[in-house]
Amino acid sequence: MNEEKPMPATQAVEIYGQSETLAYTRVISTRAVTFVCSVCEKEFTQMRYPSRLPLYCSDLCRGIRAQQRNEERVRKQRENRRREREARKLERASRQAE
Digit-coded pLDDT (tens) for 1-27: 455 667 788 888 888 888 888 888 999
pTM reported for the whole predicted model: 0.65
Computed from CA positions of residues 69, 72, 76, 77, in that sequence, does the dihedral angle turn out positive or negative? positive
Query: Is there a single domain that holds both residue 50 and residue 75?
Result: no
Q: Tell me how many domains the chain contains.
A: 2
Whether 50 and 65 share a structural domain = no
Full domain range(s) for residue 62: 58-98
Report, as ranges of residue numbers, the positions in the chain whose pLDDT lies below 70: 1-5
